[in-house]
Chain A
């Protein structure tokens, strides 16, 4: 009996959280067209986008380089090292670009967002904003959510491009794959709609998920030091799992039914 009661309480708590998060989302999008808050959006683009650039670019470069190195050793056995270019480009544009960027973004920017908003809540800054008749949703939550949704696809694109260049450095400059065939086979294989556009759609979805989870976990956390640390952990765990799970579904929808 007690276990059933606990299960019920658990489900109700989760449903309530879902309801609160949807309400928050609704309020955010109901408050979008306000140009007065544009400087806040720019500030968040800087914090979330520009400051994530170093980790994204370095990670992209190394992942491209490692992929070129690993796939070369297999491809060269079949005399197919000309396929190195499309191999690197396709895996980056379709999968690794959006997914790894989302995971890094959740660790680098998502956790920071949760901690920041959680601390604002714990020190009652959100309540004092409300006291001054400033809606914290419009002033704190909306610019962060929107900046995250805009900046992460940009980061994912840069990740893929840097990875392709990294693959070029290792494949062509080090391992001696022909430079012309690296690019031309890539060009004949990669298609704009099928690969680039689908990758962009993926990263927009992931950006929404990661920032949404981060912002809501901060907004909804227990206003104690323990609550903030828990919420930060949950942000990284939940958004990573959601990204990986959704990636499978999106891949199945986009590429599975060819």
Chain B
């Protein structure tokens, strides 16, 4: 039997590499950024149909992730889906002519929100925390498209 010191060293090393593994997991594997650390501001957008969008889906401008969807609810008055967008404070001066659409990455990929910044006409016309984005384009629902196609074939 080995003496106690060697055992303790071995068990200590074992514990150490486990802690290293936890650090590796939290830094490399698990997403810890963008939500907790940087400050965000909230915008809302109404859609007719959100397709497969989920909360935590990415928000992108030209392919660059600038924020995440934090909540998806249904408006209690007119029953349309309302998506809440948390956008990083670094992108604060979005003009209110910005349009927002639900896009799909690749043919079968995840759905995300694409922002298309409009022109800034007047300095005061920027989106601030809590604003609604007016110009929205709904998700492309494949079933609807197929349905329309079949319907038009019937004529």
Select one of A53, A93, A183, A190 contacting B14, CB under 8 A: A53
Give the number of chain A interface residues (Cβ < 8 Å): 30
What class of interface size applies to chain B in its complex with A?
Answer: 20 to 34
Interface residues of A in 157-201 (CB under 8 A from B): 157-158, 160-161, 164, 183, 186-192, 195-196
Interface contact B58-A192, CB-CB below 8 Å: no
Most A CB contacts (10 A, CB to CB) among B7, B14, B15, B22 go to B14
Most A CB contacts (10 A, CB to CB) among B24, B30, B31 go to B30
Interface contact A164-B106, CB-CB below 8 Å: no
What DSSP secondary structure best describes chain B's contact surface? Answer: helix
Q: How far is the CA of A39 from the CA of B109 in the complex (A)?
A: 54
Q: Which of A42-50, A208-216, A237-245 is found at the contact surface with chain B? A: A42-50
Q: How far is the CA of A187 from the CA of B63 in the complex (A)?
A: 17
Q: How far is the CA of A161 from the CA of B106 in the complex (A)?
A: 29
Interface contact A158-B106, CB-CB below 8 Å: no
- Given A42-B8, A187-B30, A196-B30: A157 in contact with B107 (beta carbons within 8 A): no
Closest to A155 in B: B18
Interface contact B31-A187, CB-CB below 8 Å: yes
B32 close to A (CB within 8 Å): yes
- Given A157-B18, A158-B17: A192 in contact with B32 (beta carbons within 8 A): yes
Contacts of B39 in A (CB 8 A): none
Closest to A150 in B: B15
Shortest Cβ gap from B82 to chain A (Å): 22
* Extra 9 A-B pairs, beta carbons < 8 Å, given A43-B4, A160-B21: A45-B14, A50-B14, A79-B107, A154-B18, A157-B18, A160-B25, A187-B30, A190-B29, A192-B26
Which 4 A/B pairs are nearest by Cβ-Cβ distance? Answer: A187-B31, A154-B18, A161-B21, A46-B7
A-B contact pairs, 30 of them (CB 8 A): A43-B4, A43-B7, A45-B11, A46-B7, A46-B10, A46-B11, A50-B14, A53-B14, A78-B106, A79-B106, A80-B109, A89-B29, A154-B18, A157-B21, A158-B17, A158-B18, A160-B21, A160-B25, A161-B24, A183-B29, A186-B29, A187-B29, A187-B31, A188-B58, A189-B31, A190-B29, A190-B31, A191-B30, A191-B56, A195-B30
